[in-house]
């Protein structure tokens, strides 16, 4: 785990890590895909990325998961990504909705910026979801899931899809989440940590 004393520095480090991985992929491929999570944690990192001098016209952006709501809905992850990442230099990147086209065609992803909830979930793979086992074991790219903690259904990448990344960056903030990461075995996040090397970046 790479630890920083504030969220700004952690976000800058994550953005630099993602940038390097995108450029490495573009050295060997015509296009590179960046997968990003929703929520508030990645906002600063995505804003920093948007101003980086990268060949954004050759970069695809998609989501780890999405709430099944209209694009202009306040809880739409796509809305957040369009407002924070797909601006400035990154305005020419191509956004790909989950289910819009075969996610498999974007694999292997250059980098996946994942997040984790305070219950230890990642993407929309929740511990109380009826679809938990399927999301962990299925070879499908995406899955529609529900959780009792939200009235909204969601579309999520499966574990199998997420780990098809050159690099996985898990950006987490807060002491409660640090406690989970120090002993993750009882939490859903353990499936991700066990399945692939994960670059964990933390700040208070």
- How do residues 47-101 score in pLDDT, each as one tens digit? 999 999 999 999 999 999 999 999 999 999 999 999 999 999 999 999 999 986 6
Q: Mind giving me the DSSP string for 45-74? A: HHHHHHTS---GGGEEEEESEEESS-TTST
Assess whether the previous peptide bond of 186 is cis (omega < 30° from 0). Answer: no
52 DSSP β-pair partners:
none
- How do residues 16-31 score in pLDDT, each as one tens digit? 999 999 999 999 999 9
Residue with tokens 């969601």: 154
Provide the CATH number for the domain formed by 2-203 in this structure: 3.40.50.1360
Any idea where the domains of the chain sit in the sequence? 2-203
pTM for this model (two decimals):
0.97
157 DSSP β-pair partners:
142
Mean pLDDT over 31-41 rounds to 97
**For residue 146, what are the CA distances in angstroms to 49, 57, 103, 135?**
31, 34, 21, 11
Helix (H) or strand (E) holding 114: strand 111-114
In this structure, the number of other CB atoms found within 10 A of the CB of residue 30 comes to 7
Beta-carbon contacts of residue 141 (< 8 Å; ≥ 6 apart)? 102, 103, 104, 157, 158, 160, 161
Directed axis angle between helix 43-50 and helix 7-26, to 10°?
50
């Amino acid at each position: 785990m790479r630890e920083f004393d504030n969220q700004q520095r952690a976000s800058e480090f994550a953005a630099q890590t993602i940038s390097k991985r995108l450029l490495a992929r573009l050295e060997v491929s015509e296009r590179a895909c960046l997968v990003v999570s929703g929520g508030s944690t990645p906002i600063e990192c995505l804003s920093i990325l948007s101003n980086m001098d990268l060949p954004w016209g050759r970069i695809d952006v998609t989501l780890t998961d999405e709430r099944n709501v209209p694009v202009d809905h306040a809880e739409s992850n796509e809305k957040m990504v369009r407002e924070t990442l797909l601006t400035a230099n990154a305005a020419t990147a191509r956004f790909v909705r989950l289910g819009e086209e075969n996610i498999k065609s974007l694999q292997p992803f250059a980098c996946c910026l994942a997040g984790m909830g305070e219950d230890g979930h990642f993407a929309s793979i929740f511990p109380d979801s009826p679809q938990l086992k399927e999301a962990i074991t299925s070879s499908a790219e995406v899955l529609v899931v529900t959780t009792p903690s939200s009235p909204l259904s969601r579309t999520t990448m499966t574990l199998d899809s997420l780990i098809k990344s050159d690099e996985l960056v898990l950006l987490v903030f807060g002491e409660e989440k640090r406690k989970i990461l120090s002993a993750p075995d009882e939490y859903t996040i353990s499936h991700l940590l066990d399945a692939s090397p994960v670059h964990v970046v933390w700040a208070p």
